[in-house]
Structure 1
Amino acid sequence: MAIDLTDGRPWVLLPGTLCSGAVFDGVLAALGVAGAARRPLAMRHPSVEDYLPELRAACSPGAVVCGFSLGALVAAQLADRLPAGAFVLFGLNPHADDPAKRPDRQALAAEVTGQGGAAAMGGRLPPLYGSDPEGARRLILDMADKTAGDIVAQTGLALSRPDALPALSRCRAPVGLFTGTQDGVTPLALAQTAAAAAPEGRALGLAGLGHYALIEDPAACAAAVLRWQG
């Protein structure tokens, strides 16, 4: 790609289910993105269209839109309607939700509402990789507690989302898709499908990392972003 993602331009941040903007902190620090350039949005709306006004307000021309998991899906679905200079998406499943997942999603929402985010997520986390899995686990569960109040909206969003491939096919900005090679939640093949749909899409595997690669090894994720940029 031809733009410098670390030149001070805004980064609009869309975290995943039961995550806050803290999920991006390690990667952005490794990239040298200043705190003043970071614009995290809360995942508090139950439909994709609800995010469009807020994203348009935060996304000045040339901004980087960075999403993780559920947030990456929202970014991908709106990619053709935002004035972004680039999209950096981690752990994306670009397809509409599998109806078979509905009972488990609804059960998680009920458990989070009744028990709190950390208690509900403690036994549901996928395998964690990197040099400090326990540290990653603590951060994930801390975010889950802090964002537990958003789970009902996030569940509605996940269940109602449309397929993002048509929007990606109309996107003219570069789209980088990053997925851990050990990610069993959103396997690398899904990122490759999304990259094939986007005219300027490219998928990169994050060797030996899982779904929470951003937390498991922020430096490796940042290095992958820089490789894509170069």
Structure 2
Amino acid sequence: MLEIPEGEWGKNTTAVKVENLEKDYGKVKALKGITFEVRKGEIFGLIGPNGAGKSTTLKILATLLRPSGGRAEVFGYDVVNDADKVRGIISYLPEEAGAYKNLTGLEYLQFMARLYAKDEAKAREMVELGVKIADLGERIRDKVSTYSKGMTRKLLLARALMVMPRLAILDEPASGLDIINAYTIRKTIKRFAGEKGVTFLISSHNMLEVEFLCDRVALINRGRIIETGTPKELKEKYSAENLEEVFMKAIGAGV
């Protein structure tokens, strides 16, 4: 992994810093100057309804989109000017990601490990970790085309985490999964943050799930951050029972 700089933005406990970030798609402003920070080692949730700007933000931080304005850094590296360095320390899992269906789960992990590892020994180490994370038993040797959605998602999460990124960017990691697979994925994320020190930035429209998972959250609506804090702080501020109620009160929906 790359050495982390101690520049103006790379100091102390900051993993991600976003400042006045904007993104335009023609006449449509997807992001309208959002600002937030993610601390090293925490699980940070970016939550809001569909179309709020969550995926756009994640794609900019993953260097897949260029912002129209503002700036963002990951461990001190600018996502535009230092894009290659950012890619070297992150892992990104899109909501609609897929795996190669004609490969077995094990072959898929082996293929991806060789793209990241410096040598064959490191690749084998990554694959061994990936197999443990996926926890598919003997099904790891079956073709991905035979997997359920939950099994595929666990395989993809394994691919994202087996490289031991400094920052894992996960877009709707448990979307559409049954309660057992969703629970497994949440526990894996918590374990890697707690035991391995991986920083997570997660987007979700499932606010109850995020409340269980995240240390802090930012509520986003129509391209703007409307609140940031721990779930407990936000529930106390709005006298709410859960984050869904917080969100509705924050946007003035009259709950």
TM-score by length of 1: 0.28
User: More helix by proportion, 1 or 2?
Assistant: 1
Q: Which has the larger radius of gyration?
A: 2
User: More strand by proportion, 1 or 2?
Assistant: 2
TM-score by length of 2: 0.26
